[in-house]
Amino acid sequence: MENTKVTAFNIRIRTIDVLRALTMFLMIFVNDLWSLTGVPKWLEHTAADEDGMGFSDIIFPLFLFIVGLSIPLAINIRIERHQSRSVIFGHILTRTIALLTMGFYMVNYEVINQEAMGLSKSIWQMLMATAIFLIWMDYKRLSNLNKKLVLALKITGLLLLAYLAWIYKGGPLENISWMKPHWWGILGLIGWAYLLNCLLYLLIGRRLFYLVPAFAILLFMNVQENGFFKFTPDFKLVISASNHALVMAGMLCTVLYLKFRNEKSNLNQFLGLVSFIGIIFICYGFLIRPAFPISKILATPSWAAICIGIGYLLYAMLYVMIDKHGYHRWANPIKPAGTSTLTCYLMPYFIYPAIVLTGFQWPEFISNGFIGILKSLLFSLAIILFVGVLEKKNIRLRI
């Protein structure tokens, strides 16, 4: 029988916070590369029909891995607070709905036909971001707001989302359509993968005897998504199993940590095991590459496996640096990206449309080559620093 006494409350894995902050910093950075010219190919996303992956193709799967790292700790805390399974499930479902809603709106923004809609795409985007803030603001941190005002702000946000859906028109003029899932968007993919893995952990807990086979099944489903084996049908749990497997990989990493954490000698064994798993997955990814070309867009098993391997190796490296030797102050400038991650992610949804509406344009030399890359890095840092200011004023999103 597992000893669940004194687990999550006494655990703080600083590595997860730093890894989350670093990943969000890089996500904002790579999402800004579209505004540049002369960007090295290795930095960009690789085309769907091309066998390979660029730096940008690693960032989103790494974020999925980090989502998995946090799940056991978050659920353990709720269990130790004696919350019932139904209450925990309700919290999981609420967060999932929030992520799916945001992702649904964000992905539909990408295919807006503003000519048919009669409203600027940029204005629609800013109103969407405003509605998200009104609904999912962390109002508990704003104690000066009374409950009636908070309720009014949330209702305003919901009505604004309803209005944006009502006026929405997307697609080409000859085939105008209403809002639909498309590919669910980044937040939507996170939402579905988060839901499945939370339910699995809530059901299985830290029992590796069941978690490892579940992980293997998800990896097999990723292989079988395009009917690779003729003896069994292919199916998806709403989205590609690669997303579920990446979150599960992170979840297993934390479960292993919880198994090994009691003694320093065990901790070294944990780091050795995590590094070994990382190397194995990278080798596995390249081994199956002839049958499954590496492609983020197609979510191929080779891409997923290599990204899982990178996640494990990066975690081990950062853990040695941060939690074992205490070298973490270098990450302080980007700390808000790890504590107000969703707020950081949403900021560009205000900034980019504002740039379009004001007609602002960067000088050409700032948007090209090395100088352009430096501009995008500083842009990402500026967003995070601004979110840090908002955080000090207790303004942040929370789901």
Output 198 or 48, whichever has higher pLDDT.
198
Average pLDDT, integer, range 241-266 = 91
Output 264 or 91, whichever has higher pLDDT.
91
pLDDT category of residue 228 using cuts at 50, 70 and 90: confident
Q: Is the pLDDT of residue 74 over 70?
A: yes
Angstrom distance (rounded) from CA 4 to CA 235 = 36
Angstrom distance (rounded) from CA 202 to CA 199 = 5
What's the pLDDT tens digit per position in 33-44?
A: 998 989 999 999
Mean residue pLDDT across the chain: 93
Q: Is the pLDDT of residue 7 over 80?
A: no
SS3 for 290? coil
**High-pLDDT (> 70) share of the chain, %:** 97
HSE of 370, CA atoms in CB hemisphere, 13 A? 0
Structure-block tokens of residue 310: 């990178």
pLDDT category of residue 141 using cuts at 50, 70 and 90: very high
| Predicted pLDDT of residue 10 | 53
| Predicted pLDDT of residue 8 | 47
Residue 83: partners with Cβ closer than 8 Å, 6 or more residues away: none
What is the total residue count of the chain?
399
Q: Is the pLDDT of residue 265 over 80?
A: no
| Predicted pLDDT of residue 236 | 84
User: Among 139-153, 158-172, 262-276, which stretch is predicted with the lowest mean pLDDT?
Assistant: 262-276
What's the pLDDT tens digit per position in 276-314?
A: 999 999 999 999 999 999 999 999 999 999 999 999 999
Average pLDDT, integer, range 182-187 = 90
What's the pLDDT tens digit per position in 217-227?
A: 999 999 998 77
Any long-range contacts for 286-291 (C-beta under 8 Å, 24+ apart)? 288/223, 289/51, 291/228
Which helix or strand (DSSP H or E) is residue 213 part of? helix 208-224
Angstrom distance (rounded) from CA 124 to CA 376 = 24
**High-pLDDT (> 90) share of the chain, %:** 83
pLDDT category of residue 4 using cuts at 50, 70 and 90: very low
Alpha carbon 301 to chain centroid, angstroms: 19
| Predicted pLDDT of residue 398 | 93
Answer yes or no: are the C-beta atoms of 64 and 311 closer than 8 Å: no
Average pLDDT, integer, range 342-370 = 93
pLDDT category of residue 261 using cuts at 50, 70 and 90: confident
Structure-block tokens of residue 50: 């091309």
| Predicted pLDDT of residue 362 | 86
| Predicted pLDDT of residue 11 | 67
| Full-model pTM | 0.93
Residue 204: partners with Cβ closer than 8 Å, 6 or more residues away: 210, 211, 214
Q: Is the pLDDT of residue 71 over 60?
A: yes
